[in-house]
Amino acid sequence: MDIRIAVTGLGWVTPIGAGREEVWEGLLAGRSGFAPVESFDTRLFNSHLGAEVRGFHPEPFTRRQDPATLGRASLLAIAAARMALEDAGIEPGEDPSWKPERAGVAMGTTSGEPLEVEKLDDLLLAGESEKVGAEFISNYPCHQIATHVAREFGFAGVNVMIPAACAAGNYALGHALDTLRSGRADLMLAGGADAFSRITYTGFSRLGAIAPERCQPFDRNRKGMIPGEGAAVLVLEPLERARARGARIYAELAGYGLSCDAHHMTAAHPEGDGAARAMERALADAGARPEEVSYISAHGTGTPTNDRLEVLAVRRVFGEALPRIPMSSIKSMIGHTMGAASAIEAAVCALAVAGDLVPPTMNLEEPEEADLDFVPNTPRELPVRIAMNNAYAFGGNNASVIFRKVEN
């Protein structure tokens, strides 16, 4: 018999705030996280806006490790993870019903700890390679994000980083789902994290992908994405176990699907092939039909090509049902938080399912597809039984995840 998996906690750190309530209220209010970049000089770039996390203090969240010794993405991830565990009412180490060896971590990222390689580069260019110390290897490799999260909470089970770029959060959720379903863990922290970096900013700038003023997914006049940073972690556990301990259950993590375009490193398949296969697999895994989906959390970066090809792909899967299904992109508010993006959006799906409320696509004035419902500019109350979270990445890595309402 299949084990069903519940989402019982979530935590996030985003450009519009931190913690479940603050971020959710911000998303429903259409708050913008964009501002001129502060963490490095953008004078040589054509664009200057970013979605940085401002005023983040890791100290309340790191209790077993010295925050001064950890990279920024690790710190963001630990903060999100601690908030998620508190949200789930779980105190690792305090409660003997949680065995550390049955608790694991699956994280996603695009760049790992890019600020650590930037420090290395600064030293190399200054001719000061002798100042490179042990911290490069203890911080830079992307798996250290998962390492640091697990050390913080003493989690001794499955521990893995899946660096599937901008779809990585969904990949991590999928692996956590399989790990729990196959009985290899009782508790998984799954999510994604990325730190704002000049490397990422330079890259997207060179791809001509950064919007000059605002992010307008699905708008006819959209001009691009805006790079951001953040982290989100979801607490996942078997549904029966969650019920037995009286946990609040946001949603069931009901299925996922992966595919690869095998087409182009930075551009999606021209017919939406891989994206469609990922969605179809996720639906099949969840045992759901396309017309049963109540809400789609879009990848929706705001670049001209992404949004066009994404619409093509969802049309392939949902056909005539699509105009009746609200589909929004919160990247219109918090930008593209890279490896954190799909994890943040997964938390949105869980809250949408729990609260029958979906966040809007902001800055949407002239929808490119007149027949589709992008939830323009104001949030919507509606029964959300099934939510689908879509994410697409460099390397043609596609991942869709499905959340379903849990009836009492």
Q: Restricting to residues 29-58, name those near other proteins by CB under 8 A.
A: 44-45
User: Which residue carries 């001129």 as its tokens?
Assistant: 36
Smallest separation (angstroms) from other proteins to the CB of 40? 10
Contact with other proteins (CB under 8 A): which of 141, 304, 323, 379? Answer: 141
Distance between CA atoms of 126 and 290, rounded to whole angstroms?
A: 56
Q: Any contact of residue 178 with other proteins (CB under 8 A)? A: yes
Smallest separation (angstroms) from other proteins to the CB of 138? 7
Smallest separation (angstroms) from other proteins to the CB of 44? 5
User: Near other proteins by CB under 8 A, which window of 17-25, 137-145, 286-294, 367-375?
Assistant: 137-145
DSSP one-letter string for 343-380? HHHHHHHHHHHHHTEE--BTT-SSBSSTTS---BSS-E
Q: Any contact of residue 262 with other proteins (CB under 8 A)? A: yes
Contact with other proteins (CB under 8 A): which of 73, 150, 231, 234? Answer: 150
Name the nearest CA neighbour of 340 among 205, 142, 120, 177.
Answer: 142
Distance between CA atoms of 84 and 101, rounded to whole angstroms?
A: 19
3-state SS class at 18: strand
- Determine the residue type at 336: H
From residue 220, give the alpha-carbon distance in Å to each of 47, 246, 302, 318, 364: 20, 47, 10, 22, 9
- CA angle in degrees (0–180, nearest 5) for 351-348-357: 55
Count of beta carbons in the 10 Å neighbourhood of residue 316:
18
Smallest separation (angstroms) from other proteins to the CB of 87? 21
Q: Any contact of residue 136 with other proteins (CB under 8 A)? A: yes
Binding mask 369-408 for other proteins (x = CB under 8 A): ------------------------xxxxx-----------
Q: Is 77:60 a contact under the CB 8 Å cutoff?
A: no
User: Near other proteins by CB under 8 A, which window of 26-34, 139-147, 240-248, 286-294?
Assistant: 139-147
For the chain, how are helix, strand and coil distributed in percent, rounded to 5?
40, 20, 40
Contact with other proteins (CB under 8 A): which of 28, 29, 35, 160? Answer: 160
From residue 212, give the alpha-carbon distance in Å to each of 48, 74, 218, 300, 307: 7, 29, 16, 17, 17
Binding mask 58-87 for other proteins (x = CB under 8 A): ------------------------------
Contact with other proteins (CB under 8 A): which of 10, 90, 165, 317? Answer: 165
Distance between CA atoms of 406 and 90, rounded to whole angstroms?
A: 20
Contact with other proteins (CB under 8 A): which of 54, 57, 63, 184? Answer: 184
Smallest separation (angstroms) from other proteins to the CB of 205? 6
Beta bridge partners of 164: none
User: Which 84-113 positions form the footprint of other proteins (CB under 8 A)?
Assistant: 100-101, 104-105, 109-112
Name the nearest CA neighbour of 255 among 4, 19, 83.
Answer: 4
- Determine the residue type at 308: R
Contact with other proteins (CB under 8 A): which of 14, 62, 74, 147? Answer: 147
Q: Any contact of residue 259 with other proteins (CB under 8 A)? A: yes
Contact with other proteins (CB under 8 A): which of 153, 295, 318, 374? Answer: 153
User: Which 207-246 positions form the footprint of other proteins (CB under 8 A)?
Assistant: 207
Please give, one letter per residue, the 3-state secondary structure of 132-155: CCCHHHHHCCCHHHHHHHHHHHCC
User: Which 270-329 positions form the footprint of other proteins (CB under 8 A)?
Assistant: 274, 277, 281, 285
Contact with other proteins (CB under 8 A): which of 55, 66, 97, 125? Answer: 125
Contact with other proteins (CB under 8 A): which of 5, 16, 70, 162? Answer: 162
Q: Any contact of residue 205 with other proteins (CB under 8 A)? A: yes
Which tokens hold the place of 93?
Answer: 């180490």
DSSP one-letter string for 61-89? T-SSS-GGGS-HHHHHHHHHHHHHHHHTT
Q: Is 386:254 a contact under the CB 8 Å cutoff?
A: yes
Closest CB to other proteins among 109 and 329?
A: 109
Contact with other proteins (CB under 8 A): which of 156, 312, 357, 382? Answer: 156
Closest CB to other proteins among 35 and 260?
A: 260
Enzyme catalytic residues: 166, 299, 336
Kindly state the number of chain residues that form the binding site for other proteins, as judged by CB under 8 A: 81
Distance between CA atoms of 324 and 293, rounded to whole angstroms?
A: 10
